[in-house]
Structures are given as structure tokens and as C-alpha cells.
Amino acid sequence: MKAAIPRPAVAYALLIAVMAALVALPLANIEIYWILILFLFFVYLAMTNMWNLVAGYSGLISLGQPAFIGLAGYSLGVVTLYGLSPFLGIVAGGVLAAAFAVVVSVPTFRMKGIYFAIGTWIVAEALRIFFNAWRPAEAAAATWGGAGISIKAAAGISIVQIYYLALTVGFGSIFLMRLILKSKLGLELMAIRDNEATASSSGVDVFRCKLYSFVIGAFVTGIAAGVFYLFQGHIEPISGFGVNWTIILVTAVIIGGIGTIEGPIAGTAIAVLLQQLLARYVGVSLIIQGIILVAIISLTPRGIVGTIQRSRASRSPLLLAIRRTK
């Protein structure tokens, strides 16, 4: 009798097969529109995975992710403005975002719950106001209205190259999440998610675990933001530090299932689809997204993947046997 193949092995094999297909996709001469859709999916997926790490596993409902995104975009702009490599700019953006996360954690980690969320949002808004008043080099100021920066190296990099960068970052975030959750840090984060007081009394350093997840999330978010702005070719304060980023991340994680591995993947796909469908309704798109989000929270509080997992668990033989004994 043949031994059954472990489910993780099947999942990894399927993931590698999907990656191989996505790597070969640009070579199939498909429409550039689908390349751009997949590009957005990969960039959003990396950011969504990191928000899920921070909010779903660490319990930090951060609304300040645009701070890391905007800082990374401006880092890329400044680096390329001085003629340096855009790839150096992407890495520098991730490092700056992580360093800023360490600085911001000092005051914001003293806050709890909704106060932490509001505190992180204020940080992002403060950066938006600062960069709105900031004036970079005269050439860039003349082009983007004073506070914006053009990404000079963007013209020399093809869309296919940027697509592969986004693919690497997106799938890299999936593997990073699995690696973290299987490590000691992941076990501690899940303990904190289940009951922070119990985890702390059991010897878990809650502050250290939350700080690590916050900084890792900021770094990867900064890397993904650098890839996004390399494609966009410019950055300015309203889009870089705007609330739209928060809406995308929160919508994707809640729709897919917060605190799950697969949830951000499904949620990001739906978020990108909604963004494309609602592009023609610019004036009311945020209202429509808000209504959809409220409806999903009301109908499936655990998200799509969370609801499916709960349904499967309720039909498990062990649980059914326990119910019969009652």
C-alpha cells in the first residue's frame, strides 16, 4: 500500500507549479492589461500579507501602513534623482521603512486597541503634511508640483522586468509568512493572538514579538512600495501617504480572512477585481467598497477562508464524536 502524500507537500508543489506558470506568462504574448493586473496583485499581496502579520497575528490594528509606503516611494525617488540604481532605491526604501517603524513603535506601542490604530494613522497623516510642504530638487519640483518626485530610472526598465520584481516580492511574502509562522516567533505570535495576557504570563515577550512583526511588516511593505512606484514612475504625497492604501489592505485581509495564510491571497484577488470594476465610479468607489466590506463582516466575520476553515472543523470526525457524547 502506497504512503499518502503529505498535504504540505501537495500545497508546495501546487504553489511552485503556479509560480512557474506565472513566470512563463509574459513569454506567451498576452495582453499588457493582464500583466498589469497581475503586477498589482503581487504588489498588493506582499503588503496584505504583512498587514495580516501585524493585525491578524500580533493584534496590532495599524492604519499607518501608508507611512511606510510613502517613505519607500520617496526613498526610491531621491536615490534615482542622484543617478543611483533603482534596485538600491527599493532596498533603501525597505530599510528606511523598517527604521521608521522602530522609531514609531516607541510612542505608539504604549497605546492599545483603537488608540493604537488612530496613533498610527496620525503618523501617516503627519508625514503626508510634511512631504506636501517639502520641496525637492528644482527639476523634480517643476515636474510634479513641488512636493512630488519623478522616478528617473523607471523609463529604462521594461514592464516585464517590473512584473518579475513584483512576482518575486509577492510570492516571497507568502514563503516568508510560512517561515515566520513555523518559527518560534510565529508560535509566540499565535499565542499572543489567542490570549495576550496568558501568553505574557507564560513567558512570551509580547513587546519583542510585536516589534519584530511590526518591523518585518514595514520592511516588506517598503520593498513592495518601491516596486510599485518604479512602475508608476513618480510619487507625490496624496497618493503616497493616502488612505486608499489602508482601504485596500484592510479590505483584502478582512474579505479573505484575517489571521489565515490563504486569506490574504483570496482577499487580494477580490480587492484587485473590485478596484478594476469600480474604476469607472471614482466618485463613489470608496462608498461602494465600504458597503461591501460591512456586508462581508456582517455575513462572514471570519472572512472567506476563515469561514471555510470553520465549516471544515465543525464537520471533523473528532468534533462530531464529541457532540454525540453530549
pLDDT at site 98? 97
Of all residues in the chain, what percent carry a pLDDT higher than 90?
Answer: 40
Looking at the predicted structure, is the pLDDT value of residue 314 above 70?
no
Confidence at 4, pLDDT banded by 50, 70, 90: very low
Of 30, 34, 230, nearest in space to 150 by CA = 230
Confidence at 52, pLDDT banded by 50, 70, 90: very high
**Number of neighbours of residue 239 by Cβ within 10 angstroms:** 18
Mean pLDDT of the chain: 84
Looking at the predicted structure, is the pLDDT value of residue 138 above 70?
no
Looking at the predicted structure, is the pLDDT value of residue 142 above 60?
no
Q: Tell me, yes or no, if the pTM score tops 0.75.
A: yes
Rounded Cα distance, 265 and 308, in Å: 14
Domain ranges of the chain: 31-241
The tens digit of pLDDT for each residue in 104-118 reads 998 999 888 899 999
- Rounded to 5 degrees, what are φ and ψ at 247? -60, -45
The tens digit of pLDDT for each residue in 143-170 reads 444 567 888 766 578 888 899 999 999 9
Rounded Cα distance, 263 and 273, in Å: 15
Q: At a CB cut-off of 8 Å and minimum separation 6, what does 241 contact?
A: 66, 67, 69, 70, 124, 125, 127, 128, 131
Rounded Cα distance, 57 and 188, in Å: 9
Q: Determine if residue 82 is left, alpha or beta; phi over 0 gives left, psi from -120 to 50 gives alpha, anything else beta.
A: alpha
Which H/E stretch holds residue 234? strand 234-235
Confidence at 321, pLDDT banded by 50, 70, 90: very low
pLDDT at site 8? 63
Higher-scoring residue by pLDDT: 109, 304: 109
Higher-scoring residue by pLDDT: 289, 115: 115
Sign for the CA dihedral angle at 40, 44, 45, 47 comes to positive
Of 25-29, 194-198, 271-275, 306-310, highest mean pLDDT: 271-275
Q: 103, 42 in Cβ contact below 8 A?
A: no
Looking at the predicted structure, is the pLDDT value of residue 6 above 70?
no
What does the pLDDT average to over 79-103? 92
